[in-house]
Structures are given as structure tokens and as C-alpha cells.
Amino acid sequence: MLKKFLPNEHVPSVFDIDPNELKEKGIKGVITDLDNTLVAWDVADATEDIKTWFQKMNDHGIQVTIASNNKEARVKLFSEPLDTTFIYSARKPLSKAFKKAQKKMELTKSEIVVIGDQLLTDVLGGNTAGFYTILVVPIVETDGFITRINRKIERRILNWMRRKGKITWQRRDQ
């Protein structure tokens, strides 16, 4: 069961995800979390760096869908200026939002990666739905109430994985 929490990859941030490398792997779509993955959870708009990242993905023919557990107003405000599709109130880690994103993109599971900063929502949900998963380090170390609880559970899972030799990387919040 704990292997469902193990991402396929771990990188410091979305900026370490190269669209050329994704294309080489046959990736044509990204399902990404919003808060603490693309911007800090309390930042409303995309930064210039994130706008550039979205443009790079677009230039390489890679579709990006934002899937967030946050409310419609938050996700819409962020996504619309980027001209990207989005799913709000995603209820991750349940698979429904991931499948909905896949259907919107009209791609196969093997053509999509899931990117997020949380094991309990993004990685677990992406793995359960059958996608390749990439865990990024959270942008900021502060979180909303529910996420703080998730982080405590995550630390225990990551420590267990490290002891078992399943991961070698260290998160900033460890």
C-alpha cells in the first residue's frame, strides 16, 4: 500500500521539469496541482516565471491542466489568464479529477504526468489513477490547516521510505 505514495520522480520545482525531456518520454499532457506547486498557497496570480513555464510547455505542444482541491474562484482566477484548463474542488486523491483531466486533454494515461507537492493528494491520486507522478518541493513551508496535518503524515511516510532505501532525496521540510 505505501508504494502508492512513492512518486516516479522528485525534483526541486516545476522549473526543473524540462519539456524536451517530457516529449522524449512521449508526454503530451501535464496535470498539475496549484497551491505550493506552481505558486505559494497564498499567492493569487501566476508569477512571470510560471507564465514562462506555461508558455514553454505550450511551445512544445504539451497541454497543462490545473487540478486543485481549492474553490472555483481561486482556481479560475489563477488559470484563466494562463489560458489553461482547470478542475476545482478536485477532491484529490480520488481518481475522478485525474480522469476528467485526461478526458479533457484527449490523451492516454501514458502520455500524461501528474505534478504536485503533496504525497497524500497529488502523488497518491496520480498513482492510484495510473499516471506517472512527479513530486516537487513545496514552494513555501507554510500551509493551510488541513495541509499542515497532511504534511505531518507525509513526513512519517517519507522517513519510512528513506529507512527502507526507497528514496534517497531529502525534502526541505524534513
DSSP string spanning 54-99? HHHHHHTT-EEEEE-SS-HHHHHHHHGGGT-EEE-S--TTSSHHHH
55's CB contacts (< 8 A; 6+ apart) are none
Q: Which amino acid is at 16?
A: D
∠ Cα 143 145 150 (to 5°): 75
Structural domain boundaries in the chain: 2-163
pTM score, whole prediction: 0.87
Lowest mean pLDDT among 18-32, 112-126, 142-156: 142-156
Element (H or E) spanning 104, and its range?
Answer: helix 96-105
Confidence of residue 61 (pLDDT cuts 50, 70, 90): very high
Confidence of residue 173 (pLDDT cuts 50, 70, 90): very low
What average pLDDT score do residues 86-114 get?
97
- Which of 108, 140, 110, 136 minimizes the C-alpha distance to 122? 136
Lowest mean pLDDT among 2-11, 47-56, 100-109: 2-11
Average of per-residue pLDDT values in the chain: 89
Q: Residue 151 pLDDT more than 60?
A: yes
CATH entry 1.10.357.10 includes domain 2-163: no
Reading the block at residue 28, the C-alpha cell is 503530451
Average pLDDT score over residue span 122-131: 96
